[in-house]
């Protein structure tokens, strides 16, 4: 029997997946130079252009799903491709961006849309894919709270346990196939590598990421034991990021970045970040000549070219999202 590409995408998570939900007053993603490569102006994406959600939609052969907060401005036809509930800065629990909806609340929004019966039918969900992104905001919040590092492994288990609850709930609402991103190597983000002049990843941070990913694999295996074997699929961002970052000779479809840990857009001082301006409107950041030459856009997020390379590495992995 021929496998079919899902024709609808529902997205939950954070800035690695948000295509415009976060309010303009709350995020750099609505300020220049974000969006400079696509669509040519800020669009709420935390990058110079397209991000994970866009590349997954492209793989499925559909338009990128409309952000939840824009649903009332979209035509019925546009809504048929699914909906994006992800908000930048959020996690499975409350994060430093407290007023924003965590993943539980995002799934509540999804449930309300389904309950209205105006847009999606149960049969629509049978040909749908959900993407669940957790890029580490819960862990950033843990560190900001100055909690003891000895508590970290126990907290990682809490995050993965809650992720399992979320995955189970999305499936129970009727989504046939669910892709969950593994945690990317946080120790390789420019925010962590600036102390080595963007030369070396932080091994102790990546060790904690590995624990998260081991527990996530166990949780997904448990879920697949209860459902059909391939209902839940892990998109291995950890391996894909490292494959691109360590790429010495150009693999097919994967850009070789000369200094892959160095971001394209960076604040002039440690107190500034990409998009900051002073009272006179003078830029407090610098930007590289061509974002296509950088894997990272800012100190946390890949460029469009970075995401394109990651999804090129994930191509084999993506076959598992077919229904």
The catalytic residue positions are 15, 298, 301
Considering just the CA atoms, what is the radius of gyration of the chain in Å?
Answer: 19
In angstroms, how far is CA 247 from the centroid of its own chain? 22
Cα–Cα distance measured from residue 277 to residue 272, given in angstroms and rounded to the nearest whole number: 9
The first and second tokens of residue 122, run together, are: 């149960």
The CB-side HSE value for 36 (13 A sphere, CA atoms) comes to 20
Asked if 96 and 89 count as a contact pair (C-beta separation under 8 A), the reply is yes
Cα–Cα distance measured from residue 130 to residue 127, given in angstroms and rounded to the nearest whole number: 10
The CB-side HSE value for 257 (13 A sphere, CA atoms) comes to 32
The first and second tokens of residue 255, run together, are: 């850009």
Asked if 162 and 137 count as a contact pair (C-beta separation under 8 A), the reply is no
Task: Report which DSSP code applies to 115.
Answer: H
Cα–Cα distance measured from residue 28 to residue 147, given in angstroms and rounded to the nearest whole number: 27
Residues paired with residue 8 on neighbouring β-strands, in sequence order: 128
Asked if 156 and 163 count as a contact pair (C-beta separation under 8 A), the reply is no
The 3-state DSSP class for residue 18 equals coil
Cα–Cα distance measured from residue 303 to residue 295, given in angstroms and rounded to the nearest whole number: 6
The dihedral through the CA atoms of 161, 296, 177, 220 has a sign that is: negative
Cα–Cα distance measured from residue 62 to residue 152, given in angstroms and rounded to the nearest whole number: 39
Instruction: Report the phi/psi class of residue 11: left, alpha or beta, with left for phi > 0 and alpha for psi in -120 to 50.
Output: beta
């Amino acid at each position: 029997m021929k496998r079919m590409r899902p024709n609808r995408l529902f997205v939950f998570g954070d800035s690695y997946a948000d295509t415009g939900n976060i309010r303009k007053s709350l995020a750099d993603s609505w300020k220049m130079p974000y969006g400079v490569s696509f669509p040519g102006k800020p669009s709420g994406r935390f990058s110079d252009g397209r991000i994970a959600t866009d590349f997954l939609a492209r793989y499925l052969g559909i338009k990128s799903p409309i952000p939840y907060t824009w649903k009332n401005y979209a035509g019925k036809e546009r809504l048929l491709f699914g909906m994006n509930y992800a908000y930048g800065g959020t996690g499975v629990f409350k994060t430093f961006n407290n007023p924003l909806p965590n993943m539980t609340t995002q799934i509540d929004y999804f449930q309300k849309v389904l309950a209205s019966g105006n847009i999606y039918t149960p049969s629509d969900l049978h040909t749908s894919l959900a993407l669940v992104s957790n890029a580490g905001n819960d862990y950033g919040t843990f560190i900001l709270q100055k909690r003891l590092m000895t508590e970290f492994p126990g907290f990682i288990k809490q995050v993965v346990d809650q992720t399992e609850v979320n995955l189970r709930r999305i499936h129970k609402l009727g989504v046939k196939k669910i892709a969950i991103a593994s945690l990317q190597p946080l120790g390789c983000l420019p925010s962590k590598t600036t102390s080595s002049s963007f030369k070396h990843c932080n091994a102790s941070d990546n060790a904690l990421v590995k624990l998260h990913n081991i527990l996530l694999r166990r949780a997904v295996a448990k879920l697949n034991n209860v459902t059909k074997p391939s209902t839940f699929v892990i998109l291995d961002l950890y391996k894909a990021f490292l494959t691109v970052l360590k790429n010495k000779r150009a693999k097919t479809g994967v850009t070789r970045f000369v200094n892959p840990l160095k971001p394209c857009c960076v604040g002039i001082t440690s107190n500034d970040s990409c998009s900051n301006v002073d009272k006179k409107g003078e830029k407090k950041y610098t930007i590289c000549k061509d974002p296509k030459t950088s894997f990272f856009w800012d100190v946390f997020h890949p460029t469009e070219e970075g995401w394109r390379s990651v999804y090129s590495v994930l191509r084999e992995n993506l076959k598992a999202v077919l229904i």
